[in-house]
Amino acid sequence: MSGYEEAKKRYAAAGIDTDAAIARLKTVPVSLHCWQGDDVGGFDSKDALSGGILTTGNYPGKATTPQQLMQDIDKAMSLCPGKKKLNLHASYAIFEPGEFADRDKLESKHFKKWAEYAKERKMGIDFNPTFFSHPMVKDGLTLSSPDEKVRRFWIDHGRACIRISQYFAEETGIPCVMNIWAGDGFKDVPADRLGPRMRYKEAFEEILSEPHDPALVKPCVESKVFGIGVESFTAGSSEFTLSFAASHPGCLPLMDNGHYHPQEFVSDKISALLCFFPELALHITRGVRWDSDHVVLFEDETREMAKEVVRNGALDRIYMALDFFDASINRISAWTVGFSSWQKALLNALCLPNAQLKKLQDEGRFTELMVMQEEAKMLPFAAVWERYCEEEGVPAGAEWLKEVKKYENDVLSKRG
Ligand SMILES: [Mn+2]
């Protein structure tokens, strides 16, 4: 009997159908973010990264052209099991030689190459306006700026991104999740908090007024507790974005698990939002003491978040995307570990005796609940993961690292 057949029997004895778990996971799209590949650099601006986010590290071989980035994404995706979507930022517009359009003037033609890339791979695309790393960010503010010219520029950028999102959805035939996050805030104690937030709210409303098909474009608003250089005030706080989404039908709340105080857990927030929102979105990351955007690992909170998605029957209600960037290690490996970790977390959640555990809780049998939850951790999950990878045609175990090393030697090390 193979390792998987043995494992399947052990799971079956606990009431779990591992074949069904694998089959289900194959249908669940997860969005891979392009920005791990070039340290959030983008192609439209030479401005340093700003907006309260920061990459650290200088590992050689990062992508500096669209062709290189596409090649690297292909490599990473070839090593990860699961159904993929591509997550793009507006700063990744691809211009013809001599062509340029500023962010407020972006058009779908500037993303035609990405649409073709995704269509060839039968993937959907998610999209993000880029409210950072640009000279029109004034005093750390974009959509909430008191300067009408600044605010107008960024509103026009947001509206352009709605049109591009609609284009992506029409081209790929798959809905496009468009996430609005801006790091607007103040380094030190402000004198007026309401003014910026009211301007921010009205700017969001203007962006969302851009005509779009709500079945194709899914606008989201992402909150954040603080960023580097804006420690005292962030316009788009959790209360702000949740209230905005709740009061604007069609707008989804997006929770990034790096964007809360270190003792707040998104795994606990998912069910709270599921009570009120038909759909919501997640950015999956790993914050170490702050929103550090470390590579996602198969660790406790990652597993707990996936459990909440799966056992609440919300795989079709929650749009899932990775969001991290580490410039200190091989970037293909960063993508592969991060994407695979979330896949492992989802598969693990699909292979838990969720109904039985819920029953123990409802019957107040908390001793057994603790014992059974601990026992479930000892089920032979590795064999199920290996079978999933095998069926998806990707290397299981650390075999994939050999391929990354070879790619580093053959491709990355030859980049200037
Ligand atoms: Mn995020």
The pLDDT tens digits of the residues spanning 255-314 come to 999 999 999 999 999 999 999 999 999 999 999 999 999 999 999 999 999 999 999 999
pLDDT band at residue 50, thresholds of 50, 70 and 90? confident
The answer to whether 283 is a known catalytic residue is yes
The answer to whether 8 is a known catalytic residue is no
- The label of the residue with tokens 């555990």 reads 357
Ordered by start, the domain boundaries in the chain are 29-347
| DSSP code at position 400 | H
First to last CA, the chain: 51
The answer to whether 35 is a known catalytic residue is no
Of the chain, the percentage scoring pLDDT greater than 90 comes to 95
Would you say 21 and 354 are in contact if contact means Cβ atoms under 8 Å apart?
no
Residue 232: what pLDDT?
A: 97
Q: Are strands 185-186 and 233-234 parallel, antiparallel or unpaired?
A: antiparallel
Does the pLDDT value for residue 416 go beyond 80?
A: no
The pLDDT tens digits of the residues spanning 154-193 come to 999 999 999 999 999 999 999 999 999 999 999 999 999 9
373 CA → ligand 1 middle, Å: 30
* CA pair distance 230, 187, nearest whole angstrom: 4
- Mean pLDDT of the chain, nearest integer: 96
291 CA → ligand 1 middle, Å: 9
Q: Which two tokens stand for residue 351?
A: 């292979």
64 CA → ligand 1 middle, Å: 22
Does the pLDDT value for residue 346 go beyond 80?
A: yes
The answer to whether 222 is a known catalytic residue is yes
Residue 389: what pLDDT?
A: 97
DSSP-assigned letters across all residues of 19-43: HHHHHHHTT-EEEEEGGGTTTT--S
Active-site option among 256, 301, 308, 408: 256
Q: What is the pTM of this model?
A: 0.97
Does the pLDDT value for residue 1 go beyond 80?
A: no
The answer to whether 224 is a known catalytic residue is yes
The residues placing their C-beta within 5 Å of ligand 1, an ion, are 256, 283, 323
CATH architecture of 29-347: Alpha-Beta Barrel (3.20)
The pLDDT tens digits of the residues spanning 191-250 come to 999 999 999 999 999 999 999 999 999 999 999 999 999 999 999 999 999 999 999 999
